[in-house]
Amino acid sequence: MLSHPEQFERLRAACPQAAHTAVLGGDPCFDRMLAARPYRERFRRALGVRPGQRLIVLNSTWNPQSLFGNGGEYDVLPWLLERLTSELAADEYRLAAVLHPNLWHGHGVGQIRTWLDRACRSGLTLIDPLDGWRQALTAADAVIGDFGSVSYYAAALGLPVLLGAASGEVLDPDSPVGAFTSQAPRLNPGAALRPQVERLLAGHPQPVGPAELTSSVPGQAGALLRHLFYELLALPEPTHPALLGPLPLPGYQPADITVPLRVLTRVLGPAQVVVTRYCDPLHEPAGEGGIHTAVHEDTLDPGLLDLADVVFRHGPATDHRLGSPAQWTAEVLARHPQCALAAYADGPGSCTVRTRAGQLLTLNAAPETTADPAVYASALLAVLAADGSRDEPCVLDALAAGGLTVRTGASAHTVSLTLLR
């Protein structure tokens, strides 16, 4: 069963006695991804990709020379994920990983999750290797991978691909995959990762072969395969169209960041702040303006809460285990006397905040521009710290009257402030 005529010649060269059995059947997997393209934004929302974020999908095949290799501390992928999650701004990038099913089977779910634990606490989502990888590619902005089929499919879909591992030893150099891996841009592990990702997204030259050679009959696999099956069975083929099942929408999988965040803030005016957050960075972020630490209450190391300027969490406003947002914020500030703000995000674009001075307020953003609401709490802290010449009530009254603009990367979020007396 072949998807492109070029494979016939390679089959004749490799196994001439099988050549007479070959038929052109297209690629149903590729066809399903092509059919899912109009629903890309739905898949992005399912993966928790916020407006303005870029989704980077990392993938590894099953081979000692792949991106994951044999697993363990010396393999590329665990190390790469830790660097990516610390170097890429958390509100500008979303990370997901697709690992070959044999990696999960060979090492075990517990071992894989142990190796990638820090990356997952930094917002990485592990994609189901059987039922979710096509949806992840449909939603992706770019892919970092190796010589496996997921990278090739990504290139065929027109996504920019950066190879972190590419072996010429395990591939036929005359095959389309061999040609692709020899031409695709390579990741430089010794250089900063963010500039490489930005160049990739900006239009790094990509091989053209995958789009042409994945299937010579895109969209026709269902009809071709059904015709062949009924012909082999010597049965009349049904007259209704042969249709492939659409890719199902996956469950909601937002980023779950519980590592400490180092937050760079730059106040551009009395009501405009640029916020850049990094997940437990390996080095102190460089940039103009102020810097503080924001920590999720469910962090793995509770001792980090005693160092936090902002303590936050996400949850429904009616979680009786935590009490009301007003009660929770009061408890946090009482428990952590060095904390300047406590923020309870109780909606996709809203959070309840209590300041060290005791003022309770809500921050709400327009739904179409929402970021993680904890970003707005960090922006508010920056405004309060920058305007030390004025009393906090005066600053808050001004923000309540005119609102606050929070910038994350290229996105601007209009945030309204309501004081709760």
Please state whether 379 falls in left (phi above 0), alpha (psi between -120 and 50) or beta. Answer: alpha
Q: What is the model's pLDDT at position 75?
A: 64
Residue 69 has pLDDT above 80, yes or no: no
What SS3 state is found at 63?
Answer: coil
For residue range 17-66, what is the model confidence (pLDDT) as tens digits?
999 999 999 999 999 999 999 999 999 999 999 999 999 999 999 888 88
CA 163 from centre of chain = 17
Instruction: Count CB-CB contacts under 10 A for residue 278.
Output: 25
Q: What is the model's pLDDT at position 44?
A: 97
Query: Which DSSP category does 224 fall into?
Result: H
Q: What is the model's pLDDT at position 74?
A: 44
Report d(CA 146, CA 97) in Å as an integer.
12
* CA distances (Å), origin 257, targets 121, 131, 252, 254, 280: 5, 24, 15, 9, 10
Q: What is the model's pLDDT at position 73?
A: 44
Q: Is 228 exposed, middle or buried (0-12, 13-18, 19+ CB in 10 A)?
A: middle
For residue range 94-110, what is the model confidence (pLDDT) as tens digits?
999 999 999 999 999 99
Residue 70 has pLDDT above 60, yes or no: no
For residue range 242-283, what is the model confidence (pLDDT) as tens digits?
999 999 999 999 999 999 999 999 999 889 999 999 999 988
Predicted confidence band of residue 67 (pLDDT cuts 50, 70, 90): confident
Q: How does the average pLDDT of the chain come out, rounded?
A: 92
Predicted confidence band of residue 213 (pLDDT cuts 50, 70, 90): very high
pTM: 0.93
For residue range 277-302, what is the model confidence (pLDDT) as tens digits?
999 998 899 888 999 999 999 999 99
Q: Which is nearest to 257 in space by CA: 86, 92, 124, 375?
A: 124
Q: What is the model's pLDDT at position 223?
A: 97
Structure tokens at 232: 């082999």
For residue range 367-412, what is the model confidence (pLDDT) as tens digits?
777 789 999 999 999 999 986 656 899 999 999 999 999 999 999 9
Query: Which H or E run includes 405?
Result: strand 404-408
For residue range 137-164, what is the model confidence (pLDDT) as tens digits?
999 999 999 999 999 999 999 999 999 9
Predicted confidence band of residue 72 (pLDDT cuts 50, 70, 90): very low
- Answer yes or no: are the C-beta atoms of 254 and 367 closer than 8 Å: no
Predicted confidence band of residue 68 (pLDDT cuts 50, 70, 90): confident
Q: What is the model's pLDDT at position 389?
A: 58
What SS3 state is found at 247?
Answer: coil
Report d(CA 60, CA 106) in Å as an integer.
14
Report d(CA 86, CA 97) in Å as an integer.
16
* CA distances (Å), origin 269, targets 265, 273, 366, 403: 12, 7, 20, 12
Residue 416 has pLDDT above 50, yes or no: yes
Alpha-helical segments (H) within 47-175: 76-87, 101-107, 109-115, 117-121, 133-139, 149-156
- Give DSSP secondary structure letters for 190-201: TS-HHHHHHHHH
Predicted confidence band of residue 206 (pLDDT cuts 50, 70, 90): confident
